[in-house]
Amino acid sequence: MFSNSDAHSLPNIAREYNTFEKVDPSFGGLLDLLKLKNKQVVRNYGLPPKLGKYHRTYCLSCEQIIKGSAPQLTCPDCGSKHVVMGVLDRLVSIADRPMGKQNDLTYVHQVPLRHLPGIGPKTYERLLREFGTEMDVLHHVPVEDLQRIAGEKVAVWIIKDRLGELDVEAGGGGIFGRVVLLESQKHKE
């Protein structure tokens, strides 16, 4: 029901958060929500799972993230069982019922601005100085304003993030996943 940040560094705190509608802003109101006495809308915002540092299994011998359908419990390249098991691979290996893509409108995947191509420290600071918060940039600032401050290419990445249209290469073994540019997109750049 709730997703919250487990970030260990100041810039990443609150990258995962919740919003509530029509909830009494008190401990009792929160308790009612947790006990499902209050059926108000709850929305969770957070990283796409593929961006996680331990999403997929990592081979310690080959020093690479193991690709392919989950679960990957040994390395298909070298046969090693000396791996750091990824969250997805572990879930699939212990699941007692089919796992499919959930169409849960209460969970909004958002890639942090710093993970988007073309957004370095200067662009990031310029966006925050102009629009206030990263969440406003990611969810509310009109495309024309994004283009004016950060340029057309950066605005396209932010809008793709907003629409859930980013392609993410999975992370694993302590390495974050990353947003990737598909071949079809490279020709447009």
Q: What is the pLDDT of residue 104?
A: 67
Q: Per-residue pLDDT averaged across 62-72, rounded?
A: 94
Q: Per-residue pLDDT averaged across 56-61, rounded?
A: 97
| pLDDT averaged over every residue in the chain | 87
Q: Count structural domains, the chain.
A: 1
Residue 3 belongs to some domain of the structure: yes
Q: Which domain holds residue 33?
A: 1-46
Residue 70 belongs to some domain of the structure: no
Is the separation of the CB atoms in 99 and 92 below 8 Å? Answer: yes
Name the CA radius of gyration of the chain, rounded. Answer: 19
Asked whether residue 125 carries a pLDDT value surpassing 50, the answer given is yes
More confident residue, 102 or 96: 96
69 falls in which pLDDT band (50, 70, 90)? Answer: very high
Token output for 26:
């008190």
Q: What is the pLDDT of residue 77?
A: 95
Q: What is the pLDDT of residue 103?
A: 61
Residue 143 belongs to some domain of the structure: no
Give the span between the Cα atoms of 100 and 126, in whole angstroms.
Answer: 40
β-strands 107-109, 42-46 pairing:
parallel
Residue 27 belongs to some domain of the structure: yes
Residue 181 belongs to some domain of the structure: no
Tens digits of residue pLDDT in 2-52: 666 666 777 777 778 888 777 788 888 878 877 777 666 678 888 899 999
Q: What is the pLDDT of residue 187?
A: 46
- The lowest-confidence range among 2-11, 66-75, 176-185 is 2-11
Residue by residue, DSSP assigns 12-48 as GTTSSEEEESS--SSHHHHHHHHTTSS---EEEEE--
Q: 63: Cβ–Cβ under 8 A, 6 or more apart, which residues?
A: none
Residue 16 belongs to some domain of the structure: yes
Q: Per-residue pLDDT averaged across 97-121, rounded?
A: 83
Residue 146 belongs to some domain of the structure: no
**pTM to 2 decimals?**
0.79
Beta carbons within 10 angstroms of residue 22's beta carbon: 9
Give the span between the Cα atoms of 154 and 156, in whole angstroms.
Answer: 5
Q: Per-residue pLDDT averaged across 145-158, rounded?
A: 96
Beta bridge partner(s), residue 44: 18, 107
Q: What is the pLDDT of residue 24?
A: 80
Beta carbons within 10 angstroms of residue 116's beta carbon: 20
